[in-house]
Structure 1
């Protein structure tokens, strides 16, 4: 399988519970050694200024931490979408999206189009993600810069599904509790 780096994984209704239920994951890395990404639609109640006060003014609304995944929830990872010229401490992941060094200098005003800070990340071992995709747990779709910094992350799962060209867009109407249907 070709690298899926820079794409989005959208959880299908086959994932019925756990941290990936109705999740949208931006893949930061994917190769023969496995895959790494962050869940972009799981805002937490913790505000960025409680953990990284210097960075709070650069974060897009909602100005909170996001649960990036179930791995290393005690560590922070930041994704930035560059406006034109990348700031110091920015490492490209895909297109205009890259990791920001939270120990580095703050980007200058206007260098970033958007910024999100994640607690933890999602990870898959060699072949694990490919197997989950083959079993129908994930849709692989193109990422749009705005997805990563959506002001309404709670609707992102449905929004990403609705814009697909094929019949999977109808999964956006899948009820929260199918047993109550």
Structure 2
């Protein structure tokens, strides 16, 4: 069997890939990093997965990042809350944004949503010439080979195709329930220890 090389081309997704999907933490997932979270999956292949948590706030605002980078805040986005994107590299910034503009290290996850981790997008945001919509996060969530699949099989996560409206327009505290509602599920009614048929 020939294995295809890993690609970041959105037109050549790995079969079974959860790229551009939400991982919705099941109520029984008590890991403090992921309890009641929604993670947007940016990469997923047989080598592992990477995503950004979209509903775990830090106490930091975007204008504080501008200040740390010696950038004047000429934007109207300085009061945007910075998310805790996950436990891996929490000192590193990631920007999920609409795909209207690209920067140095932009990964186009879907036709609508991109991920950029380079300084130039933060500079653009400070100068008021950033993407139309964005979510700024510190850190990311990562899974090794087979790890995410095992967690899904153990009922830790619900998966659903991503919805950019939930990422960019839904109030933070409603994102977990709203993402599950796409499946017609009220996550608050799911038992925390699901049985197996």
TM (norm. structure 1) is 0.81
- Aligned partner of 1:149 among 157, 168, 193: 168
Distance 1:59 1:128, change over 3 A: farther
Task: Report the equivalent of 2:144.
Answer: 125
The 8 Å contact of residues 27 and 191 in structure 2, kept in 1 or not, is answered as no
Q: Give the distance between the partners of 2:191 and 2:152, measured in 1 at CA.
A: 22
> Of Structure 1 and Structure 2, which has the larger fraction of its residues in strand?
1
Q: Give the 3-state SS of the residue equivalent to 1:159 in structure 2.
A: helix
Where do 1:90-169 residues align within 5 Å? 90-104=106-120, 106=124, 112-165=131-184, 169=185
1:179 aligns with none
Checking the alignment, whether the CA contact within 8 Å between 2:177 and 2:186 is kept in structure 1 is: no
SS at match of 1:104: helix
- Compared with structure 1, are the counterparts of its residues 144 and 44 closer, same or farther at alpha carbon in structure 2 (3 Å cutoff)? same
In structure 2, the gaps of 5 or more residues are 1-14, 193-197
In 2, distance between residues paired with 1:101 and 1:74? 12
CA contact (8 A) 1:58 1:115 kept: no
Residue 32 (structure 2) aligned to one of 18, 27, 52: 18
Write the distance in 2 (CA, Å) between the matches of 1:32 and 1:91: 18
Q: What is the CA distance between 1:55 and its match in structure 2?
A: 8.9
Hey, what's the Cα distance between the residues in 2 that align with 1:65 and 1:172?
26
Alpha carbons 1:78, 1:99 under 8 Å: kept:
yes
Match of 1:87 among 102, 114, 127: 102
Alpha-carbon shift at residue 102 of structure 1 (Å) = 3.4
- Per the normalisation by structure 2, the TM-score is 0.75
Partner of 2:90: 73
- With over 3 angstroms needed to count, the CA separation of the structure-2 counterparts of 1:36 and 1:26, relative to structure 1, is same
Structure 1 unaligned regions, length at least 5 = 177-181
Q: Match of 1:20, SS?
A: coil
After superposition, give the CA deviation of every residue in 1:112-156 in whole Å (9 maximum; x if it has no partner).
231111110000000000000011000110111112223511111
Tell me the C-alpha RMSD between the 2 structures: 2.6
Length, aligned pairs only = 170
Larger Rg: 2
Distance (whole Å) between structure 2 residues aligned to residue 175 and residue 142 of structure 1: 23
